[in-house]
Structures are given as C-alpha cells and as structure tokens.
Amino acid sequence: MTNNSIPLILFAAATMLMLPKIALAQHEDKDQFIDIQTVLSTLKYDIKYYSNDNFVGTRINGYQAEKCFIDKRAIADLKKASDALNQQGFRFKFFDCYRPERAVAHFMHWAKDLTDQKTKTQYYPNIDKDTLVGPYIAERSGHSKGFTVDLTIEKLQNGKWTEVDMGSAFDLFDEKSHTLSPLISKQQQQSRLFLRDHLAQHGFKNYSLEWWHYTYNKVPKSQASEAYDFVVK
C-alpha cells in the first residue's frame, strides 16, 4: 500500500460513517419486504411513479421496475382482503406501495420548485403548489416504512376488468379526493366507503384526504419506525 492511497481509504471510511441510517439499512433489511404479486392471486399493477404519468411528470428516483413491495408483516392480512374481494368479483389495483426515501426527496425537490407548473391542471387545479407539502406531500413518507399502499379496485364485468369509479383520479390533490367529499356522486361515495370498510376489516386504515391511501395498523409504531431507501427493481 502506498502513502498516497491512505487518504483515499480514510475518506471512504469517513463517508461510510456519515451515511444516513436508511442507506445502511437498505442492504440488511430488504428481506423484510415482499413483492405483493408473488402472494396475491389476482391483482393489477399500475405503478405511477415508474412512469411519466404522475404529478411530477417524470419517472421518480428509485423506481426501476413496476413492482410493489410491502412489509412481510402486512402481507397475510392484505391477502385475506384480496381473497375476499376476489370472491365478490373485484380485485385490487395498486398505484404505489413501498416508496424509497430518494423518491420522497424527489417529490420535495419538485414541490419546492414553484416555477414548474406543468402538471397543475391535471393534479392540483384548485390549490397553489406551495400548499401541497403537508396535507398531500410528506417530507417523511409512511410509504418508506413499508406498511402503506395506494390502491383502488376493479370489477370483473363481461369478462373484462373495469376500474371502479371513485369520483377522482389517483393523486388529484383536491377536496374532491377526500374520502368523504361532498363533491362526488352518491354511487362514487358508496364505492369509496366499500373500499374503506373492507380494508378496515383487515387492519388497513384510510388517510381521510386521499381515498386511495391505506396504512396497515396492526404493527406497533415502535416496531415500524424505520424508513428504507432500497431501489424498487
């Protein structure tokens, strides 16, 4: 070993010590997660952040495949919820599940750039972009802990799966997307309540401002406090 190589080694060691806990955990704890489609028998993936079809308008950092991971401690109840839906002629359609911390950082970078308004008409037509952080975009997302899913349901009709009309699109940041919104029809409200009540029976709690957002609440918060940053691939 030459003397010139010693500073490089010291720099690398110092860099490892400065890495955030989430970056170190990604190599050790990915085994705690499972790809939902390996367990659920019938479902649909429409992973929005793997595509350009989302409120940022581009693929989000950390999404390298159209997959949906969840903490293994939630999968049994999610399967029960899915199986019960299947028996009634429905299936889950997933928009997002586990979300890397780098994706959350991507969202925050976009949210702070108030000059970028290209998706306003489609995703936040009635509110200002500088109000999105907090109610709709979180600086630290529960998705990164592996217990939160964004989803809707599809119904089998005449041999084809058709998405149930919930009254607003996924990630529409608007009062219309609140689970109990006065801006939607009675049938649309009933469909939201059907989804909410069904998932509640299996331990998933809805976030009231987003009808599609559910978090598994049977694992104590003290055991679900870690956030992860491994890439979805």
Across the chain, the runs of DSSP E, i.e. the strands, are 33-35, 43-45, 69-71, 90-96, 148-157, 160-163, 204-207, 210-216
**What's at 67, amino acid-wise?**
K
> Is 28 in the active site?
no
**Strands 204-207 and 210-216, bridge-based pairing:** antiparallel
Structure tokens at 7: 């500073």
**What's at 227, amino acid-wise?**
A
Q: Residue 104, CB half-sphere, CA atoms under 13 Å: how many? A: 22
Query: Rg (Cα) of the chain, in Å, rounded?
Result: 20
Give the C-alpha separation, 181 to 175, whole Å: 7
Contacts of 71 (CB under 8 A, 6+ apart): 32, 33, 34, 98, 145, 146, 147, 216, 219, 224
From the candidates 139, 154, 210, 226, give the one annotated as an active-site residue: 210
Q: Which residues are catalytic?
A: 210
